[in-house]
């Protein structure tokens, strides 16, 4: 294998690259590594793992021969081990999915997955930082809103709530969080339009009627009316309701909106919305604290779960793959990335530290 390199003064050459061990929907044992930047202290990607769990990460041989003898090992086997390989030797091929088996966690405990050339004690050609977190629990209670009007029968949400929550579970596992999900509660209401949660008093009734404390209440409705016709999801965190005089925290998700959009079978879209709103409960801000039309448009920002716009779009400036595949041909899915690194040039970085300090605080996220 020959590598052509052009450079001026100096250039950093990465022989291998790490990525999610899948594309498409979030998968609980295939986290989204933080691959941003090559500066101190990690000098490469960071893989998050919950204690005592085994996850997969993909090694891509970008600039090393697919047939080269590569070996992987843990820098500290009291923190994690590499599973499923004999003597640490990788199979040949352009990519390999490596199993990282975590032991007890910390805040986090840190070790490196070393990629070595030729032998298990050969020269190191790359390192992946592995962060092993103590498991924390996040409680969530789904509600299915069954809404009738004076003249029309009740219409509930048609969403497969368990499937949506399963994707949310995979997204937040990346921060060492385990979701405890209560059985879905059915809330009956009589509003102006069957199936619809209107603004103002109807929304307040939803947030008040069956509120359950010490859990995140997630309300699924057939149709949601927001401040714009396109609104499909609304989140009211504890901080937001305190600032705005609302009755209780909660997250509202519409199968559809008043503009006629139907997302009832798009589990990935709904999961991204719900996981994003949970991010606000965990005190994460929108990426770089920018709101439309000043939202950041760079790819590092648009990968993020907490990007406010958070659509990769079907055309134009926002058409980039962020590792989650296509919703439809040419229509790229939204990202679910939560940052592990805390890069000094960014305002809202180190998201995992914010999340974990919120869930470990006396006030908690609820
Ligand atoms: Zn938001």
- Ligand 1 mean position to 277 CA, how many Å? 6
Whole-number Cα distances in Å, 266 to 234, 256, 333: 17, 11, 11
* CB-based contact 320:332 (threshold 8 Å): yes
CATH number at residue 169: 3.40.390
Using the mean position of ligand 1's atoms as its centre, give its distance from the Cα of residue 186 in Å.
26
**pLDDT tier for residue 12 given thresholds of 50, 70 and 90:** confident
- The number of domains in the chain is 2
Beta-strand runs (E) in the chain: 17-19, 46-50, 54-60, 70-74, 80-83, 95-102, 109-117, 124-133, 136-148, 177-181, 185-190, 196-197, 216-224, 233-236, 250-257, 326-328, 331-332
151 with 235, same domain: the answer is yes
Cα(284) to centroid(ligand 1), Å: 9
Please indicate, yes or no, if residue 313 is contained in any of the structural domains. no
Determine the distance separating the centroid of ligand 1 and the alpha carbon of 188, expressed in angstroms: 27
Residue 268 falls inside a structural domain: yes
Cα 249 to averaged position of ligand 1 atoms, centre (Å)? 14
In a domain, 319, yes or no: no
123 shares its domain with 140: no
Residue 21 Cα to ligand 1 middle (Å): 27
Point out which residues pair with 179 in neighbouring strands.
138
Domain boundary among 133, 159, 175: 133
How many angstroms does the Cα of residue 36 sit away from the middle of ligand 1?
22
110 plus 170 within the same structural domain = no
Do 75 and 157 sit in the same domain of this protein?
Answer: no
User: Is position 316 within any domain?
Assistant: no
Taking the centre of ligand 1 as the mean of its atom positions, its distance from the CA of residue 51, in whole angstroms, is 29
267 Cα: distance to centroid of ligand 1 (angstroms): 18
pLDDT tens per residue, range 53-94:
999 999 999 999 999 999 999 999 999 999 999 999 999 999
Beta carbons of 274 and 268 less than 8 angstroms apart? no
Check residue 90 and give its pLDDT: 98
Are both 345 and 224 inside the same structural domain?
yes
What distance in angstroms lies between residue 306's CA and the mean position of ligand 1's atoms? Answer: 6
Q: Which residue, 100, 133, 166, sits at the end of a domain?
A: 133
Q: How far apart are CA 24 and CA 214, in angstroms?
A: 32
Q: Is residue 96 part of a domain?
A: yes
Distance (Å, whole) CA 179 – CA 331:
30
CA of 149 to the centre of ligand 1 (A): 30
206 phi and psi angles, rounded to 5 deg = -60, -45
Helix (H) or strand (E) holding 169: helix 161-173
Last residue of a domain, one of 114, 133, 152: 133
Displacement of CA 201 from its chain's centroid (Å)? 32
Q: State pLDDT tens for residues 22-64.
A: 999 999 999 999 999 888 888 899 999 999 999 999 999 999 9
Q: Ligand 1: distance of its center to the CA of 320 in Å?
A: 21
Ligand 1 centre distance from Cα of residue 1 (Å): 46
* Residue 292 within any structural domain of the chain: no
CATH number of the structural domain spanning residue 97: 2.60.40.10
Instruction: Supply the DSSP symbol for 304.
Output: B
251 CA from centroid of ligand 1 (Å): 11
Ligand 1 centroid–CA 308 distance in Å is 5
Strands (E), 5-53: 17-19, 46-50
Same domain, 183 and 261: yes
Distance CA 320, CA 299 (A): 8
Residues 97, 171 within the same domain: no
Q: Which of 125-129, 297-301, 333-337 has the highest mean pLDDT?
A: 125-129
| pLDDT value for 310 | 65
46-to-67, 239, 340 alpha-carbon distances in Å? 26, 30, 7
Going by the DSSP 8-state scheme, the letter that residue 318 receives in this structure is G
172 shares its domain with 263:
yes
Q: Which residues pair with 178 in a beta bridge?
A: 137
Same domain, 124 and 154: no
User: Ligand 1 centre and the CA of 162: distance in Å?
Assistant: 22
- For residue 302, tell me if it sits in a domain: no
Tens-digit pLDDT profile for residues 305-314 = 999 876 665 5
Could you tell me which residue, 292 or 289, shows the higher pLDDT? 289
- Give the three-class secondary structure for 351: helix
**pTM for this prediction:** 0.94
CA 13 / ligand 1 centre spacing (Å):
37
CB-based contact 211:244 (threshold 8 Å): no
How far is residue 103 from each of residues 130, 267, 323, measured CA to CA in Å? 11, 32, 28
Residue 261 has pLDDT above 80, yes or no: yes
Instruction: Say whether both 268 and 153 belong to one domain.
Output: yes
**C-alpha 182 – ligand 1 centre gap (Å):** 24
Q: Same domain for 144 and 237? A: yes
- For residue 193, pLDDT beyond 90: yes
- Distance (Å) from CA 152 to ligand 1 centroid: 33
Ligand 1 mean position to 72 CA, how many Å?
39
Residue 289 domain flag: no
pLDDT of residue 95: 97
Distance 191 CA to ligand 1 centre (A): 27
Centre a 10 Å sphere on the Cβ of residue 330 and count the other Cβ atoms it contains: 10
Q: For residue 248, how far is its CA from the centre of ligand 1 (angstroms)? A: 18
The domain in which residue 346 lies consists of 136-284+338-360
Main-chain phi, psi angles of 205, to 5 degrees: -65, -40
For residues 225 and 191, state if they share a domain.
yes
Q: Burial, 94: exposed, middle or buried (Cβ in 10 Å; 0-12, 13-18, 19+)? A: exposed
């Amino acid at each position: 294998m020959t590598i052509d390199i052009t450079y001026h003064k100096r250039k950093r050459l990465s022989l291998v690259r790490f990525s999610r061990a899948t594309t498409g929907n979030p998968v609980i044992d295939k986290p989204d590594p933080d691959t941003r930047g090559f500066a101190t202290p990690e000098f490469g990607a960071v893989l998050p793992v919950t204690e005592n769990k085994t996850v997969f990460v993909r090694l891509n041989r970008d600039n090393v021969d697919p047939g080269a003898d590569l070996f992987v090992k843990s820098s500290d086997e009291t923190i994690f081990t590499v599973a499923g390989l004999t003597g640490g030797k990788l199979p040949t091929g352009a990519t390999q999915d490596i199993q990282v088996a975590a032991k007890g966690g910390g805040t986090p405990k840190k070790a490196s997955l070393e990629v070595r050339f030729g032998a298990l004690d050969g020269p190191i050609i790359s390192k992946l930082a592995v962060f092993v977190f103590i498991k924390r629990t996040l409680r969530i209670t789904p509600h299915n809103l069954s809404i009738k009007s004076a003249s029309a029968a009740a219409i509930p949400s048609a969403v497969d709530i368990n499937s949506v929550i399963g994707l949310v579970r995979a997204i937040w596992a990346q921060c060492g969080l385990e979701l405890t999900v209560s059985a879905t509660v059915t809330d009956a209401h009589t509003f102006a339009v069957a199936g619809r949660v209107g603004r103002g008093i109807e929304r307040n009734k939803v947030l008040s009627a069956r509120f359950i404390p010490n859990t995140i209440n997630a309300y699924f409705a057939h149709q949601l009316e927001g401040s714009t016709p396109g609104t499909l999801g609304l989140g009211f965190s504890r901080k937001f309701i305190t600032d705005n005089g609302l009755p209780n925290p909660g997250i509202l998700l519409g199968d559809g909106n008043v503009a006629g959009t139907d997302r009832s079978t798009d589990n990935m879209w709904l999961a991204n919305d719900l996981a994003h709103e949970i991010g606000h409960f965990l005190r994460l801000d929108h990426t770089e604290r920018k709101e439309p039309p000043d939202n950041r448009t760079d790819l590092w920002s648009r990968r993020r779960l907490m990007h406010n716009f958070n659509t990769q779009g079907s055309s134009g400036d926002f058409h980039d793959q962020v590792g989650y595949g296509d919703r439809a041909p040419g229509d790229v899915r939204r990202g679910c990335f939560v940052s592990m690194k805390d890069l000094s040039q960014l305002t809202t970085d180190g998201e995992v530290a914010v999340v974990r300090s919120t869930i470990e605080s006396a006030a908690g996220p609820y």
